[in-house]
Amino acid sequence: MIIYVNGPSSSGKSSIIKAVQFIYDKPIVNVSVDMFTKSIDNKFSWFGNKSNILHTFRQKQDKKWYITEVILGKHAWTFKKIMNEMILNFAKKWFDIIVDDVVKNDKDLQSIKKKLGKYGILFVKITCPLNILNEREMIRWDRAWWLARRQSEKMKKMNFPFDISIDTSNTDPFEGARGILQKTFSKKSKEKKKNT
């Protein structure tokens, strides 16, 4: 089982994932994009002086708001490829996996679905109103401000058919986790019936 959780920065993905791990009665491996970016020293990521390795941020202002964009460094795609290989290797060994990612376009999610679909995958969309995303970012020490704005805008344009969508402004992490697990087992049951 693979649960692929996608949503903008500060939308509440990590909290829901922790709740899934707490509720679920088997070990479930959490693979997250943050795990990879935090695996190297800060001077090589975020706003560090050698940040071209993974990514850095550029802030700009549109008509009335600030926006932070992620600028990918020379090894960003290598890290992403390693993350995807790790997910695939866990899936091949039949580990249950929950992925925490920020994918901003349909093409990339379709590619993930094509590569991992045979292992049983549930796509979860995490949303939250922009004003709440901004507030959450302001109190986090590990996020660039205004990052969620750009990610949220791009994700709104997506047409990917997510299996479940959760708005964390009106759903607590445990309620979201129960919804994900219920949908996961419902989907697995349907797939079993289809294959028999």
| DSSP class per residue in 119-160 | G-EEEEEEE--HHHHHHHHHT-SSS-TTHHHHHHHHHHT---
pLDDT at res. 48: 45
pTM score: 0.82
Task: Please give the tally of structural domains in the chain.
Answer: 1
Q: In this structure, what are the phi and psi dihedrals at residue 78, rounded to the nearest 5 degrees?
A: -65, -45
In a domain, 195, yes or no: no
Domain residues for 172? 2-185
Please, what is the average pLDDT of the chain? 82
For residue 5, give Cα distances in angstroms to 90, 122, 183, 190.
16, 8, 13, 21
pLDDT at res. 54: 63
CB 101 within 8 A of CB 113: no
Domain holding 50: CATH number? Answer: 3.40.50.300
pLDDT at res. 37: 67
pLDDT exceeds cutoff 80 at 168 = yes
In a domain, 191, yes or no: no
Q: Return the structure tokens found at 170.
A: 């009106």
| pLDDT grade for 126, boundaries at 50, 70 and 90 | very high
Who wins on pLDDT, 159 or 55? 159
| pLDDT grade for 49, boundaries at 50, 70 and 90 | very low
pLDDT exceeds cutoff 80 at 96 = yes
pLDDT at res. 178: 96
Beta-carbon-side half-sphere exposure of residue 120 (alpha carbons within 13 Å): 20
In a domain, 192, yes or no: no
| pLDDT grade for 109, boundaries at 50, 70 and 90 | very high
In a domain, 27, yes or no: yes
Q: State which amino acid sits at residue 30.
A: N
